Amino acid sequence: MAPFTQLASGNWRIQVRRKTRYVAETFRRRKDGEEWALEMERNIDRNGSSKPRVVRNVRTFGDLIDLHDDDMRVRKESVTIH
């Protein structure tokens, strides 16, 4: 499990160390950080990288644009649901 540190600003700093990989991020809500940490740990366990497998298969600029569109669509849906 990743360590959670509350900063003076009230934000949460989450650090994931797994299989010689290190990633860190800062979040306003602890719950968001917990979800992110779990996703990072899973990605590292599955493919040895903190990046999702989809990102590693991007070969053209068009693929990158499609990936961005998909990401923005998912974020927009999650914002409107809550």
Residue pLDDT, tens place only, 19-39: 888 889 999 999 999 999 998
Give pLDDT, residue 50. Answer: 67
Q: Where are the domains of the chain?
A: 1-51, 53-82
Residue pLDDT, tens place only, 30-69: 999 999 999 888 888 887 766 665 555 778 999 888 888 8
Taking CA atoms, 60 is separated from 32, 49, 55, 63, in Å, by 31, 20, 11, 5
Torsion from C-alpha of 19, 44, 30, 70, nearest 10 degrees: 160
57 backbone dihedrals φ, ψ, rounded to 5°? -95, 5
What is the per-residue pLDDT for 71?
Answer: 76
pLDDT at 10 over 90: yes
* DSSP single-letter state for residue 49: S
